Chain A
Amino acid sequence: AQSVTQLDSQVPVFEEAPVELRCNYSSSVSVYLFWYVQYPNQGLQLLLKYLSGSTLVKGINGFEAEFNKSQTSFHLRKPSVHISDTAEYFCAVSEGSSYKLIFGSGTRLLVRP
């Protein structure tokens, strides 16, 4: 069955340091992959997505992610984080022709000054 694993429930990091948020998925067919960000007391906003083509995708606010088919991973990275990046980040996958998104459990990014 399709599933998404975000191994880190919380990632503390100092401002201006690099960060990587990990996401692994299980699927035997083609997938679309998404990262969403949720700021406190708000809904989810699309950060970036992988549909096909180049495995490195860039999103808003300086984030990027790399699709690795052999490792079934879609890790999110930012070279230098800001205090304003403090939020919860969700990885999501849709499989085959399905319109349903399956979400990971989320990773809380805590940026400290």
Chain B
Amino acid sequence: NAGVTQTPKFRILKIGQSMTLQCAQDMNHNYMYWYRQDPGMGLKLIYYSVGAGITDKGEVPNGYNVSRSTTEDFPLRLELAAPSQTSVYFCASSGRDRGHGYTFGSGTRLTVV
């Protein structure tokens, strides 16, 4: 039972490069989320999805894109990386019962230089 799997764990990008952060869950959860975590700032919601084919912006979506072609996968795309996108990225998922809270992945630490 893997839960939420994120890859890669670490990545260094040069300014202007692009990359995709992968996220997969095996719990048949409808809801998936991408957060970024910056020191002293808590977690900020980037994008979320309520099911396959449906995505919506969170609090800080600029510079990112997502897709949800299957229930299991929710990749996050960074286009034209900037130093401001240096952060730790967490993917999470949740089921129909809101009371269960979220299951988080172990995170991707991204540095843009």
Residues of A within 8 A of B (CB): 4, 6, 9, 32, 34, 36, 42-46, 49, 51, 90, 94, 97, 99-101, 103-106
Contact = CB atoms under 8 A, between A and B. Distances in A.
Interface residues of B, number: 23
Contact of A106 (B42, B92, B102): B42
A32 B100 CA distance: 10
A9 B40 contact: yes
Which of B40, B42, B50 has most A Cβ within 10 Å? Answer: B42
A49 B99 contact: yes
Given A9-B40, A99-B94, A103-B43, A34 B105 contact: no
Contact of A42 (B40, B98, B99, B106): B106
B105 A43 contact: yes
A9 B99 CA distance: 27
B54 to A, nearest CB: 12
B90 A90 contact: no
13 contacts: A32-B98, A32-B99, A43-B105, A44-B90, A44-B104, A46-B102, A97-B98, A99-B48, A99-B98, A100-B48, A101-B102, A105-B40, A105-B42
A36 B100 CA distance: 12
Which of A94, A97, A101 has most B Cβ within 10 Å? Answer: A101
A77 B42 CA distance: 20
Contacts of A106: 40, 42
B66 to A, nearest CB: 15
Given A49-B99, A51-B99, A104 B42 contact: yes
A42 B3 CA distance: 14
A99 B35 CA distance: 14
B2 interface: no
A36 B94 CA distance: 15
A110 B94 CA distance: 30
Interface in B41-64: 41-43, 45, 48, 50, 58
